[in-house]
């Protein structure tokens, strides 16, 4: 990048730093910034760069300044999950299909990289620069971790999916099957009377957030949901019943979980459980709130152990408040990355101070087929008692939901909003789908 252009953009960003309004939507903010930008162009010694007398040239130049430069192509590539910038070294990307790949792109100078980092801070409405920084990109294009080292800024940009994958797409990709998806639907909706408390566990990059986003389609639209994260990742655009909260240096996840109990919420979702907020989450479960969250663990038993020990320290007896653990894992099979639901396990009481687990489903890696080891009896019996339905009726309901998901697959209905609309219709009035989809069959 030319030195004049770097100097110009730095001056523009300095001027814009005080004009960025945190609570305005992105497009309104863009209009304000464009007006400030155009005024600056007309009075700046650099006005020859932006064509201040030509509206279309000015707009084009503004779009360039307001972009994320050489990483825009990666942000717009649906196969890219992470973008890794280590100072002036070549930029690496982590792709869904290939894993870690070295790109031909890199920053040409420390000044150009510094300008890029400055954009990230200003566009994310952050002013305080620390040794370690966590930011969100505008329009929630992704999250950014910046660590300053003697070798220059080290950046990891995790690209968000602007259109989250639906549960139907995950079934088609082999991440889950229709039978397990129907079971998760029953857990989450709970026949409107007893939803299950659920933890989705897995290693880094295993697909926990992707699955959680897809499961939002199962949450009834008449519930008030509080979503709590330390960095905004989840997509809550499906309904207007989500209240989104973010922790920072002043407010911890634990503080927000405690406060959520004063927000008349039906369900709390924690983007990632990792510390003392785990105990507050169990308290919410204990008073009858429905809870969901993710956790780093590669098996159901490991998830229990992590909850029991530092830094979470949840008493073992309270872990049984979690009805089900869904375990995600990421495998490299024949040089192809595959993410799958590797386990579904229910809690089953205590024996000699040990939390008992009842495994229901597992994935056979040799065939990538899901096999059921036993049926859901623990949660199913609780649901039967709470709803007044018989066990055969609940089994029939589960089969009907599986059939509906399979019908959506057969009809090629996979877009997230459309899938969610149909599932919400089923929850409100299953018969309403008869004319639209011919479901259930007469």
Compute the mean pLDDT over every residue in the chain, rounded to the nearest whole number.
88
Residue 223 has which token pair?
């519930």
Whether 48 and 195 map to the same domain: the answer is: no
Whether 331 and 394 map to the same domain: the answer is: yes
The region of weakest confidence among 3-17, 63-77, 332-346 is 3-17
Between residues 16 and 400, which one has the greater pLDDT? 400
Residue 284 has which token pair?
């919410």
The percent of the chain in helix, strand and coil, each rounded to the nearest 5, is: 40, 25, 35
- 442 in a structural domain: no
Structural domains in the chain (count): 3
Please say if the pLDDT value at position 282 is more than 90. yes
Whether 263 and 370 map to the same domain: the answer is: yes
User: What's the pTM value of the predicted model, to 2 decimals?
Assistant: 0.85
Q: Using N-to-C axis directions, what is the helix angle for 178-189 and 391-410, rounded to 10°?
A: 120
pLDDT tens sequence across 75-100? 888 889 999 999 999 999 999 878 89
**Alpha helices of 287-354 — where are they, by DSSP H?**
300-308, 316-319
Between the alpha carbon of residue 347 and those of residues 259, 377, 398, the distances in Å are 27, 11, 20
Q: Tell me the longest C-alpha to C-alpha distance in the chain.
A: 79
Whether 113 and 200 map to the same domain: the answer is: no
- 174 in a structural domain: yes
Whether 42 and 76 map to the same domain: the answer is: no
Residue 7 belongs to domain spanning: 1-66
* DSSP structure class, residue 272: -
- 129 in a structural domain: yes
Please say if the pLDDT value at position 441 is more than 70. no
Whether 346 and 361 map to the same domain: the answer is: yes
331-354 core/surface letters (b: 16 or more CB in 10 A; e: else):
eeeeeebbbbbbbbbbbeeeeeee
Whether 81 and 60 map to the same domain: the answer is: no
Q: Domain boundary residue among 161, 182, 199? A: 161
Whether 201 and 320 map to the same domain: the answer is: yes
Query: What are the residues whose beta carbons fall under 8 Å from the beta carbon of 314, sequence distance 6 or more?
Result: 278, 279, 282, 307, 308
Whether 156 and 304 map to the same domain: the answer is: no
Whether 47 and 61 map to the same domain: the answer is: yes
Whether 118 and 196 map to the same domain: the answer is: no
Whether 99 and 3 map to the same domain: the answer is: no
Q: Residue 108's domain is classified under what CATH number?
A: 3.30.450.370
pLDDT tens sequence across 131-165? 999 888 766 567 899 999 998 899 999 987 778 89
Q: Using N-to-C axis directions, what is the helix angle for 110-123 and 3-16, rounded to 10°?
A: 20
- 267 in a structural domain: yes
């Amino acid at each position: 990048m030319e030195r004049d252009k770097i100097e110009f953009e730095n001056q523009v960003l300095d001027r814009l730093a005080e004009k960025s309004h945190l609570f305005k939507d992105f497009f309104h903010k863009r209009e304000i910034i464009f007006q400030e930008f155009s005024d600056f162009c007309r009075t700046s010694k650099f006005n020859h760069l932006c064509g201040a007398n030509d509206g279309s040239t000015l707009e084009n130049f503004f779009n360039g300044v307001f972009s994320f430069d050489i990483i825009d192509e990666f942000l717009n590539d649906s196969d890219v999950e992470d973008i890794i910038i280590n100072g002036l070294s070549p930029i690496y990307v982590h792709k869904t299909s290939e894993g870690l790949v070295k790109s031909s792109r890199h920053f040409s100078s420390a000044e150009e990289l510094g300008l890029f980092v400055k954009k990230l801070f200003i566009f994310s409405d952050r002013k305080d620069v620390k040794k370690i920084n966590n930011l969100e990109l505008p329009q929630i294009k992704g999250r950014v971790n910046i660590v300053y080292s003697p070798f220059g800024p080290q950046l990891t940009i995790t690209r968000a999916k602007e259109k989250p994958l639906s549960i139907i797409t995950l079934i088609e990709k082999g991440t889950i099957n229709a039978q397990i998806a129907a079971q998760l639907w029953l857990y989450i909706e709970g026949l409107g009377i007893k939803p299950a408390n659920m933890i989705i566990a897995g290693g880094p990059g295993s697909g926990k957030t992707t699955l959680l986003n897809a499961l939002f389609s199962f949450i009834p639209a008449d519930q008030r949901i509080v979503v709590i994260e330390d960095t905004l990742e989840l997509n809550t655009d499906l309904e207007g019943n989500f209240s989104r909260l973010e922790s920072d240096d002043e407010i911890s996840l634990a503080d927000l979980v405690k406060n959520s109990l004063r927000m008349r919420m039906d369900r709390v979702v924690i983007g990632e459980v990792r510390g003392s907020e785990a105990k507050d989450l169990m308290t919410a479960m204990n008073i009858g709130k429905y809870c969901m969250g993710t956790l780093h663990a590669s098996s159901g038993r490991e998830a229990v152990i992590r909850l029991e020990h530092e830094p979470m320290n949840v008493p073992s007896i309270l872990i049984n408040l979690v009805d089900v653990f869904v375990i995600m894992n990421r495998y490299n099979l024949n040089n192809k990355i595959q993410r799958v639901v590797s386990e579904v396990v229910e809690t089953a009481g205590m024996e000699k101070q040990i939390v008992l687990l009842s495994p229901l489903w597992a994935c056979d890696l040799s065939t990538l087929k899901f096999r059921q080891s036993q049926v859901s009896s623990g949660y199913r019996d609780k649901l039967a008692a709470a709803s007044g339905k018989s066990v055969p009726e609940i089994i029939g309901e589960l089969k009907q939901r599986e059939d509906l998901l399979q019908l959506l697959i057969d009809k090629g209905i996979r877009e997230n909003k459309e899938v969610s609309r149909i599932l919400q219709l089923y929850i409100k009035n299953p018969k309403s789908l008869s004319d639209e989809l011919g479901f259930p069959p007469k």
